[in-house]
Amino acid sequence: MIRFLFVVPFVLIASTASAQQQGRDACTRDASRFCRHHLDQGDDAVLACLKEHRARLSKACQQTLTEHGQ
């Protein structure tokens, strides 16, 4: 039982990290296509750029932004 309680937090952390990575993967192509000049300015600049181009983004990227409250 103690071993189970020790493993659960690691599984939850790993699944959260995996979801974040999938979100980044969903928007990587859109970011390089529409926001290339913002890529070296940090995540906030890229996110703002993606929001500006929201209507032109892939469905997967649009869904990822929506799921993350953006």
pLDDT at 5 (0 to 100): 40
At 5-62, the pLDDT tens digits run 444 444 434 434 444 555 568 899 999 999 999 989 988 999 999 999 999 999 999 9
Q: Rounded to whole angstroms, how far apart are CA atoms 57 and 60?
A: 8
Closest CA to 27 of 4, 46, 5, 8: 46
pLDDT at 21 (0 to 100): 55
pLDDT at 7 (0 to 100): 40
- Residue 56 near residue 63, CB atoms below 8 Å: no
